[in-house]
Amino acid sequence: MFPLPGKSSKIEDKSFPQKNTLQIDGRLISWDRPQLMGIVNLTPDSFFEGSRAEKSIDKVAALVDSHISNGASILDLGGYSSRPGAAEVSLQEEIDRVIPAVKWITDNFPNTLISVDTFRAKVAKEAILSGAHIVNDISAGDLDEEMIQTVAKLQVPYIAMHMRGNPQNMQKKTNYSDILVEILYYFSEKLEQFRKFGIKDVIIDPGFGFAKTLEQNYFLLRNLHHFQALSLPLLVGISRKSMISKALDVDAEKALNGTTALNMFALCHGANILRVHDVKEANETFKLYNTLYP
């Protein structure tokens, strides 16, 4: 059992060895410096319009080119909006949105790492076989019983996020006794499950905005350093989310400044990957962080 997080407590998971590198597509990725993940939404209904590149390779090309030229080392492609209350998308529609974009990026930017943002095993498999490198699952395998086994067979890195329920009902599932302890337990159990199936490389994501209230999101962010005890790379995705827009009383279009402020906080408290809409501004945050901590 984990002790309650506190100044003197040490939470540690032994399922995976602690390491500062990740093997992806024959390349060794170091976590000694943070990595930047640019969002490419292949959907018509993602909450931030500026990240949408649906049904048009020209739009995908423009967004991808901008992300890469501004410093993104990973592109995260999603064909199913996971915003609260988002409409359901058929399996075939998600595949039709994602696979052409994966193939285009692979052909035109072969050195760029591609993450596929999906909770469906079939989409993950098709994307990896088409050239993607990482599976980013908002449900950590809870929404598709085939996902964990599929990732293990593909032998690719797996981003496992914490969420309760699904995008349609998750905001009704925010009742926790102790949210930090419960999420740490959740990851501990997941990591043991991943280990048994043979998944070698895991990145964890606390899931800001997923089945969490405004207050819970900020509590987790203040306590982000506790996730370092799991000894795995930590992804933080807070870009333009409602936890920022609600706190500042602005919409997502005006939440960039708040995003930048919280991204710097996340970096200072252990984030290894920032998942962002605005790559240029996030890269400037990286540069200032690296100047602060050379």
Active site residues: 241, 275
How far apart are alpha carbons 79 and 46 in whole angstroms?
A: 10
What contacts 291, CB < 8 A, 6 or more positions away? none
Cβ contact 151:129 at 8 Å: no
Question: How many angstroms separate the first and last alpha carbons of the chain?
Answer: 37
Helix (H, G, I), strand (E, B) or coil at 281: helix
Residue 196 phi/psi, 5-degree rounding, is -65, -35
Burial of 94 (0-12, 13-18, 19+ CB in 10 A): buried
Q: Taking the alpha carbons of 91, 82, 119, 53 in that order, is the dihedral positive or negative?
A: positive
Residue whose C-alpha is closest to residue 207's, from 136, 150, 288: 136
Q: Which of 164, 262, 256 is nearest to 218 (CA)?
A: 262
Q: Work out the angle at residue 51's Cα, subtended by the Cα atoms of residues 42 and 82, and round it to the nearest 5 degrees.
A: 60
Pairing mode, if any, of strands 27-30 and 35-41?
unpaired
Contact 51, 41 (CB under 8 A): yes
